[in-house]
Every structure is written in structure tokens, then in C-alpha cells.
Amino acid sequence: MEQVIANGLYLGAQYALIALGLTLIFALMNVLNFAHGQMYVLGGFITYTVYGQLGLPFVVALLASGVTLAVIGALMEKFLFRTVIRRSHREESTMLLAAATAFFFDAVILLLFGEKQRGVPKIVKGVFNDAGIIMPYDRMVVGALAIVFIAAFVLYMQYSRVGRAMRALAQDRVAAQLMGVRVDRYSMIGFAMGAMLAGVVGGLLVTITGVNSGIGGPISIKAFLMVMIGGAGVVGGAIAGGFILGMMESVGLTVLREYGDVTYLVIFAALMVFLSIRPNGLMGKPWG
């Protein structure tokens, strides 16, 4: 039992960090970033290259993942999404763009890094084994790092000038603009931060699960699930959704083991029922 909870918490911390980036982009731009999973994979591969191949310290690799993805996110916002939002009649058109960028990233990742599963050496050796819980130290370190990042992100959004501007933007774009918030600039920063979070999680998790070019899509779907559970565009919701999904996955894998691979089926079914009762998720604004 303790083991299941520990696994759930560890998974949840990772998931929450993924969902945070997605929900941030959604809150600011009303864009559902299909490429989020691909950004995660790209972050993973950058850490793999810097830490696994070049042998530089893990912190440097993580930094490289974050910075590269932030730059990519900023460029995507400036040159792609901003243009399409301005020219299109319907807001949904950004979805086509997002899907196209997801395919594009898939192709780039495949060309640059190949289709093999890649892993890196462990960052910390050894296994924690006490009080009925078995957990490798590296997982604990990664889980703790994820929680630190989440806390830092929440504090940043809450107390910094940039964070305040972005929250204002998420609440009401026009009103924020009238109050003198530079909408374009903060949209770009927000998109960059969302992409950066995806890259950082990718970099963190490559040390444990490794990475391969095919997992982008499934990661995106998981991120969508978490955002739906918690409510789109709400920071608290993304964190809650991440931990709930992590816990459900951990519990489901233990309890439903004898029925075969049905954990996700059960989670999906539960989600459908849940959404028919609470269409906006736990904390979502009406109609996102």
C-alpha cells in the first residue's frame, strides 16, 4: 500500500509538471498545444545528448533542455501562432497549426535522433528500502526536483511581475491590454515558459524511463487527461490533475493487474462519467 502511494506521488509530480506547461499555454493563448508531448521528447533527447553523450553535468543538461525549448516556444508563438490567430476567422484554426507542428517535431526528432530507445546513466545510485517502500534514489531525487520546480513555478506566477501580468492576461485579455500589459510580449514569454516546462520534465525523466521518438503522442494525451481532470487553464487544476492521474495509474496498475492491460480503459471511462457531472473539471472556468 505504502509502495503504491509512493509510486503515485512520484508519478504525479512528473505529470503535474507536464500539465502545468500545457495549461499555461492554454490559459494565455487559448491554444491547445498538440506538440506538448513532442516538446517533452525533444527535451529528453537534448538531455540525453548533453549528459549521456557529451558527459557534461546533469544540471547543465537540464538547463540546456529548458533553454532550447524556451527559445523554440518563443519562436513558435511569434512566427506561427500569432500570425494564424490574427488571420483566421475561427479560433480553432490554431489546432491545425498545433497538430502540424506536432508532426513537424516528430519528423525532426526522428531525423536527428533516430528511432531507438535511449537512456542515460543514473544520476544517483542505490535504492531506498525502508518501511515497506522500495524506491531507487534517483526516482526520489527526480520526484523532489519536480516538486521544487512546481513550487517555484507557482511562486513565480504568484509574486513576480511577469507572473502577475500573465495571470491578468489569462483572466481577461482585453482588460489586461487596457491596463497597459504588453499582451504580445507576455504571450510569448508564457508560451516559452510552457515549452520550457515540457523540456525540463523530458530532461528529468530521461534519467529514469529513457526516451524514444514515438512517445510524444501518448504523452500529449496524458497531459490532456490531466488538464481535463483539473480544468483547463487553471494552475491549481493542472497540479491536482497530475497528482490524481499519477495516483490512479499507480493504484490501477496494482489493483487491476489480473485483468490485463485495462488500467487506462478504466481511467478513461471514469473520466467520461466525471466530465458528464462536472464538465469543467475540478477547478475549470466555464467553457475554458
Partner 1 sequence: MTHKRNVKIASVVAFLAIVFIAVPAAISASGRIDLYYTLTSVALLSIGSAGVWLTFYIGRINIGQGAYALMGGYVSAVLVMNHGWSFWPTLPVAGLFCAAASVLIGLPILRLRGVYFAMVTLTLTEVARLLALALPITNGAKGIVSIPLPGALSIFGLTVIPDFAVLQNSRLAFYLLAVTVMVVCFAVMYRLVNSRIGKLCQSLQQNEELASSIGVNIAYLRVIAYAVSSFFGGVSGAIFAAISQSIYPSSFTVTDSVNFMLNCFLGGLGYVFGPMLGTLVLYFGWDLLFQTGQFQLLIYSGLMIVLMLVLPNGLLSLAEMTRKKG
Q: Which residues bind partner 1 (CB under 8 A)?
A: 26, 32, 34, 80, 83-84, 87-90, 92-93, 95-97, 99-101, 103-104, 106-108, 110-111, 217, 221, 224-225, 227-228, 232, 260-262, 264-265, 268-269, 271-273, 275-276, 279-281, 284, 287-288
**Nearest distance from C-beta of residue 1 to partner 1, angstroms:** 27
Residue in the structure block whose three cell numbers are 493487474: 257
Query: Which amino acid appears at position 172 of this protein?
Result: D
Q: Which is nearer to partner 1, 56 or 80 (CB)?
A: 80
How far apart are CB 129 and partner 1 at their closest, in Å? 34
Q: Which of 210, 168, 240, 276 is nearest to 12 (CA)?
A: 240
Q: Judge whether 106 and 38 are in contact, CB under 8 Å.
A: yes
Neighbours of 188 (CB within 10 A): 21
CA-wise closest residue to 149 among 200, 221, 108: 200
Give least dist CB 154 to partner 1, A: 23
Ramachandran angles phi, psi of 71, nearest 5° = -65, -45
**Minimal distance in Å, beta carbon 265 to partner 1?**
5
3-class secondary structure, 206: helix
Q: How far is the CB of 117 from partner 1 (least distance, A)?
A: 19
Contact 129, 137 (CB under 8 A): no
Long-range contacts, stretch 52-57, CB < 8 angstroms, 24+ apart: 52/118, 52/119, 52/120, 52/121, 52/206
Nearest alpha-carbon partner for 101 in 118, 87, 114, 83: 83
Q: How do 127-130 and 133-136 pair as beta strands?
A: antiparallel
The cell for 18 is 507536464
* Closest to partner 1 by CB, 5 or 262: 262
Closest distance between partner 1 and the C-beta of residue 143, in Å? 26
d(CA 121, CA 246): 25
Q: Minimal distance in Å, beta carbon 181 to partner 1? A: 23
User: In this complex, which beta carbon is closest to partner 1, that of residue 140 or of residue 256?
Assistant: 256
Nearer to partner 1, 178 or 273 (CB): 273
For partner 1, the closer of residues 33 and 47 by Cβ is 33
Task: Choose between 107 and 175: whose C-beta lies nearer to partner 1.
Answer: 107
Q: Cβ closer to partner 1: 62 or 228?
A: 228
Tell me 258's DSSP state. Answer: G
